[in-house]
Amino acid sequence: MKTEPGAGFFDRLEQRPPAEREQAQFAQARALLARLQVHTAYGQEQLAGFDAAALQGRADLARLPVLRKADIAARQAALRPFGGLTLPDAAPRKVFQSPGPIYEPEGHGPDPWRLARALFAAGFRAGDVVHNSFSYHLTPAGSMLEGGALALGCSVLPAGVGQTELQLQAARELGCNAYTGTPSFLRILLERAGDAPLGLRKALVSGEAFPPGLQDWVAARGVQAYQCYATADCGLIAYETPARSGLVVDEGVIVEIVRPGSGEPVAEGEVGEVVVTRLDAAYPLIRYATGDLSAFLPGPSPCGRSNRRLRGWLGRADQSAKVRGLFVHAGQVQQLRERFPELTGRMRWVIEGQDAQDRFTVLLEAAEPADGWAERLLQAVRDITKLRAELRCVRELPNDGRLIDDRR
């Protein structure tokens, strides 16, 4: 049940004890997994053999396979429209298309992408007039933010992209006091407005980095802007709150941080790939790998919300580089690790050189190897990549999630 807006929280779920949240979310995950195994081609082909009743926590979840965007594209190409990923009784209200093409279903209800929670944390309230500059053409971003704003009782100007002068005119004449869109277009609007008052006072931005310098520039012009992390596949994943201390994970998803190129969870605080389990029946994705890098922050948010927090977007996990005419990628780094489970430190493949004289080095957080150990590892690198490499052991590597470092 939602609290009153004055309480500062969207609903009671945001403050529930973490153990209560985990228990409730994994009960949802068990039910979804069981339905997928019975009613979908994906569940029967990729999730068969897993006991849904045994899905009690994160260690059990980590045993399930990771689902990547390329997997969705391949499945949809073979089985239109949704690749056997959706339940037969979950007919979508709308269908969107992302590059690939990949089709994303929109569920029913007032806020199917769950963006209202992020808008509420950013200060949006009933009666606000929202200038929504996200695209309404094929991709779902415009619909995602509009649905959340309407669920809060806001009015929405569906501005979309382009025609900046007309957007400015409409925003002034309609009295828009709130903005949703990219931070770069917010800056364009404020710059074009010049000395003429625009009336924007609050904003929820996404789709791009929002560096501190731009945050300060926007705030100096009277707009309090917050960030959210959402995708066309998962809907809302995490959102900024007035504490401005990381991004709080949404209540409708389970988020893991895994070693890039694998489904293996990393230690708390380590940078890795964001993997999302979406818990609603409209599009119940199990362990969807976003390709984005982040890390969990320790402890609860100072704002009083009890869910985990992400550091924010820290880069892309699907790293690759071309070495002597052959591609190397993060998944190959994981293959090497699987052959040497005793390697517990970080690993990074570094490519250097110029004028087509590539130098390929494996950096490893470890003591110097004993006799024969280095030779076995480098032979495994050659087996995996078809490339010769050098090995260098180092005391420490940065905690930034980078596995392929192309320095050319």
Q: How far is CA 59 from CA 32, 174, 331, 345, in A?
A: 17, 51, 21, 21
Q: What is the pLDDT of residue 355?
A: 58
Work out the average pLDDT over 345-354. 90
Work out the average pLDDT over 169-174. 96
Whether the per-residue pLDDT at 357 is higher than 90: the answer is no
Terminal CA-to-CA distance of the chain, rounded, Å?
A: 55
What integer best gives the mean pLDDT of the chain?
Answer: 92
Cα 235 from Cα 283, distance rounded (Å): 10
Whether the per-residue pLDDT at 8 is higher than 70: the answer is yes
Cβ–Cβ under 8 Å, residues 248 and 304? no
Work out the average pLDDT over 167-178. 96
Cα 83 from Cα 103, distance rounded (Å): 9
Q: What is the pLDDT of residue 370?
A: 64
Q: What is the pLDDT of residue 222?
A: 95
Compare 374 and 255 and report the one with higher pLDDT.
Answer: 255
Work out the average pLDDT over 77-103. 92
What is the share, in percent, of the chain residues with pLDDT greater than 90?
A: 79
Q: What is the pLDDT of residue 132?
A: 98
Q: What tokens does 395 get?
A: 């005391």
Q: How far is CA 363 from CA 324, 368, 371, 405, in A?
A: 19, 11, 18, 10
Whether the per-residue pLDDT at 3 is higher than 80: the answer is no
Q: What is the pLDDT of residue 84?
A: 96
What is the share, in percent, of the chain residues with pLDDT greater than 70?
A: 97
Q: What is the pLDDT of residue 209?
A: 86
pTM: 0.86
Q: What is the pLDDT of residue 195?
A: 80
Which sign, positive or negative, has the C-alpha torsion 110, 114, 117, 120? negative
Whether the per-residue pLDDT at 7 is higher than 70: the answer is no
Cβ–Cβ under 8 Å, residues 227 and 240? yes
Whether the per-residue pLDDT at 178 is higher than 50: the answer is yes
pLDDT classification of 10: cutoffs 50, 70, 90: very high
pLDDT tens column, 122-138: 999 999 999 999 999 89
- Helix axis angle for 183-193 and 164-174, nearest 10°, is 80
Work out the average pLDDT over 186-213. 92
Q: What is the pLDDT of residue 321?
A: 86
Cα 334 from Cα 268, distance rounded (Å): 19
